[in-house]
Amino acid sequence: MAVWRRLLYCISLVQLKMWRVDALPGIVMVMMLAAGCAGNEVVATAPNVATTTLAGVENATITATASSTASDAPPGEIAVQPNVVVTTAAAVLTATLVETPSETPTVSIAALLPTSTPTTAPASVIEPTPDGVVRQIRVPILMYHYLSTPPPGADIYRQDLSVPPELFAAHLDRLLVEGYTTTNLYQVVDALQRGAPLPDKPVVITFDDGYRDNYENAFPLLKERSMQATIFVVTDFIDEERPAYLTWDMAREMMEDGISIESHGRNHISLANKDDDYLIWQALGSLETIEYELGVRPRFVSYPAGEYDRRTIDIFQSAHYWGGVTTRQGATLDNQRLFELPRIRVRNTTTPDELIRLLSLDW
Ligand SMILES: [Zn+2]
């Protein structure tokens, strides 16, 4: 990591600590953290590595528990329920989702393609000011992982998480046929917080983990169709130049073509049951790496393996993220729960018919 990049990180860490620790005099915190940032090495941590050292954090050894890079699987539900009380929505905006015919209509795909270039993501860098209205809107957020045919001998998780390019192309074409329009999480938050309009039948396409096949296989298919998507990347994996993951050049190229690049943490280690210092390291470290590399600050997190708790949300919120996506299944988004946005898991076995059925569910 470049020296000045580390310095930026330390400065932000100091800022975040000062906001959060009211009881301690700020100057003491600055001195402690400055000493910590100067004295400790940031160690990039791979999965399967047992311990991680944190920059600028006292007692900085924690135990890492990730077991594989594809540890979004198995598709378990998160265990933590929030303390947020969901009020009855004053205004429920419901995207129109209709039951669909079982056979694919014969409309030409070319005729359905948008004629104008989509808004490049992110649509906005200024957080929308909530207008005070409690809102729920139905916007399906699809969750993909690998976009390739699983290699021979792939385990059950890899198989489940892998959507072959031909199937993905069929998904995209079917979405167009059914009248869906891809949007992004920035526009979704704008709709939730201010009632900003969304396109008809909006859908958000997301990819977790930032695999290289997202660039090689998914990106050309999306670009051909002028469709948007969001990729949640693991920043240490890119920094380490792991061959299975994106490079920063790939991320930059996609970003210029309407793909949002957001945070999936630094190293894919669970964000549940962690102390504040560790969570700050994950939240700020991934945010500042993406901002440094791409020039755009990420505003959304996808919790690795879908695991988080109340502290995770508090820390990411303090670090000026706008929201988080989970592995909880559903399509109803609530502006009282921006850090617990549900998604719809797309599997290797999800046919276009099944995809449309999932999008049509009232959940
Ligand atoms: Zn993941």
Report CA(146)–ligand 1 centroid distance (Å).
Answer: 10
Q: Rounded distance, CA 337 to CA 342, Å?
A: 10
pLDDT at 14: 57
Q: Give the distance (Å) from ligand 1 centre to CA of residue 145.
A: 8
Report the alpha-carbon angle 126-129-132, nearest 5: 165
- Taking the C-alpha atoms of residue 42 and residue 60, their distance in angstroms, rounded to an integer, is 11
Low-confidence ranges of the chain (pLDDT < 50): 1, 20-107, 114-124
Closest CA to 45 of 57, 59, 34, 61: 61
Q: Which among 37, 132, 48, 144 has a CA at the least distance from the CA of 89? A: 132
Between the CA of 286 and the centroid of ligand 1 the distance, in Å, is 14
pLDDT reported for residue 126: 84
Bond before 352 cis per omega within 30 degrees: no
At 322-350, the pLDDT tens digits run 999 999 999 999 999 999 999 999 999 99
Please tell me the distance between residue 244's alpha carbon and the centre of ligand 1 in angstroms.
13
- How far does residue 73's CA lie from ligand 1's centre (Å)? 8
Q: How far is the CA of 109 from the centre of ligand 1 (A)?
A: 32
Domain segments of the chain as ranges: 74-360
Structure tokens at 227: 């469709």
CATH code linked to domain 74-360 = 3.20.20.370
CA of 13 to the centre of ligand 1 (A): 25
Report the separation in Å between the CA atom of 207 and the middle of ligand 1, taken as the mean of its atom positions. Answer: 9
Rounded to the nearest angstrom, the distance between the alpha carbon of 210 and the centre of ligand 1 is 8
Give, as residue ranges, everything with CB less than 5 Å from ion ligand 1.
72, 208-209
What's the 294 CA to ligand 1 centre distance in angstroms?
A: 21
144 C-alpha to center of ligand 1: Å?
10
pLDDT for 47: 38
Nearest to 83 by CA among 310, 275, 322: 310
328 within 8 A of 343, measured Cβ to Cβ: yes
Cα 71 to middle of ligand 1, angstroms: 6
Query: How far apart are the CA of 168 and the centre of ligand 1, in A?
Result: 19
Ligand 1 geometric centre to CA of 124 (Å): 25
How far is the centre of ligand 1, averaged over its atoms, from the C-alpha of 303 (Å)?
A: 7
Please, what is the end-to-end C-alpha distance for the chain in angstroms? 43
Confidence at residue 162, expressed as pLDDT on a 0 to 100 scale: 98
CA of 232 to the centre of ligand 1 (A): 8
Question: Can you tell me the distance from the alpha carbon of 15 to that of 17, in angstroms, rounded to the nearest whole number?
Answer: 5
